[in-house]
Amino acid sequence: MLSSKFIHAFTRQIYHTNLITSATFNVIKKHNSTHTKNDLVLVDVNDKTGFSIVTLNRPPVNSLNLELLSAFSSVLDDLHKNNSRGMILTSSSSTVFSAGLDINELYKPDMDRVRKFWTSLQDCWIKLYGSSFPTAAAINGHAPAGGCLFAMCCEYRVMLPKYTIGLNETQLGIVAPTWFMATMKNTIPLRQAELALTLGKMFKTDDALKLGLIDEIAENKEDAIHKCEIFLKKYQKIPQTARALTKQSYRKNDIMELENNREADLQLFFLAISDPRVQSSLGKYVAFLKLKSRMKPILEAVKFLKGIFKSKKKKN
């Protein structure tokens, strides 16, 4: 049974949004696209379908820092207020959907900033996972951890070949919050979710499809967006309120669990990142990522030389 508080909150959310015509909506209508502060999140509305393509745009890897999360949170508010017909979430990078949380926010954090950061992440999750409008993710690159989380919040996922997706937190020596886990449990079978979470497993596109972590594979970004549009169009024949309430009822327990325990979740997060062992793991990970990035030209040169040797061998 749905609690009356829940019904009231969500029906208010759904019915009232139909009546709102905000200033932002006018901007969207007029220019067909809006950019947030610093262009960290780009929004383009397709005139014909009414679907919004929301592009995470924080080079090089869309790591989720406070500013990107705040921008995304306000975009989600705008879509909600404007009674969006559907959202497609994607990335401006050609190889990374999102690298997840910006490790620099977690490593040796400023406590004031990290409070805002975690609260913003909670906001984004509540708004995206519980959105009244339908959502799909065009995963046009790697999607580790927080990147996977945002993709899983969407109702449909289309991914490009040869990338990886998963909640890899345990590999970093950290524990995924319970609401990250709940999102995965809502996406793939329970036992597979437990294995994936404890192993911190990253799945290649093909394996993610077999597991049900994604729904389709696309040839390229345009194809992925097209496939997401086909998915969203299916809802055009379904009464909007019935669809939204069904989605929100389905996800209600997970959302209420966080809504009712936001401060406790924040305190748990503080406790976790204050642990010297967690800080040590994060420090090593930051150093590893930096080293890997610096080694890239050398690794590419080695790959190139290997290619030359191989083709010479074939000729001989």
Ligand X SMILES: CCCCCCCCCC/C=C/CC(=O)SCCNC(=O)CCNC(=O)[C@H](O)C(C)(C)COP(=O)(O)OP(=O)(O)OC[C@H]1O[C@@H](n2cnc3c(N)ncnc32)[C@H](O)[C@@H]1OP(=O)(O)O
Catalytic residue set: 101, 146, 168-169
Tally Cβ neighbours within 10 Å of residue 32. Answer: 12
Helices (H) and strands (E) in the chain, counts: 13, 10
Rounded CA separation 150/167 (Å)? 11
Burial of 33 (0-12, 13-18, 19+ CB in 10 A): middle
Query: What is the pattern of x (binds ligand X, CB under 6 A) and - over residues 253-282?
Result: ---------------xx--xx---------
Quick one: 17 or 140, whose CB is closer to ligand X? 140
- Residue 292 interacting with ligand X (CB under 6 A): yes
Q: Please identify which residue in 7, 27, 256, 289 interacts with ligand X, judged by CB under 6 A.
A: 289
For the bound state, the minimum distance from the C-beta of residue 111 to ligand X, rounded and expressed in Å, comes to 15
Q: Please identify which residue in 7, 9, 27, 175 interacts with ligand X, judged by CB under 6 A.
A: 175
For residues 93-113, one letter each, b for 16 or more C-beta atoms within 10 angstroms of the residue's C-beta and e for the rest, the string is: beebbbbbbbbebbeebeeee
For the bound state, the minimum distance from the C-beta of residue 39 to ligand X, rounded and expressed in Å, comes to 18
- Residue 197 interacting with ligand X (CB under 6 A): no
For the bound state, the minimum distance from the C-beta of residue 173 to ligand X, rounded and expressed in Å, comes to 10
- Residue 209 interacting with ligand X (CB under 6 A): no
- Residue 201 interacting with ligand X (CB under 6 A): no
Rounded CA separation 72/79 (Å)? 11
Q: What is the SS3 assignment for 41?
A: strand
- Residue 134 interacting with ligand X (CB under 6 A): no
Structure tokens at 229: 């549009």
Rounded CA separation 50/137 (Å)? 16
- Residue 214 interacting with ligand X (CB under 6 A): no
Quick one: DSSP state of residue 202? P
- Residue 114 interacting with ligand X (CB under 6 A): no
- Residue 100 interacting with ligand X (CB under 6 A): yes
Question: Where on the chain is the footprint of ligand X (CB under 6 A)?
Answer: 60-61, 63, 95-96, 99-104, 142, 144-146, 168-169, 172, 174-175, 177-178, 268-269, 272-273, 289-290, 292-293, 296
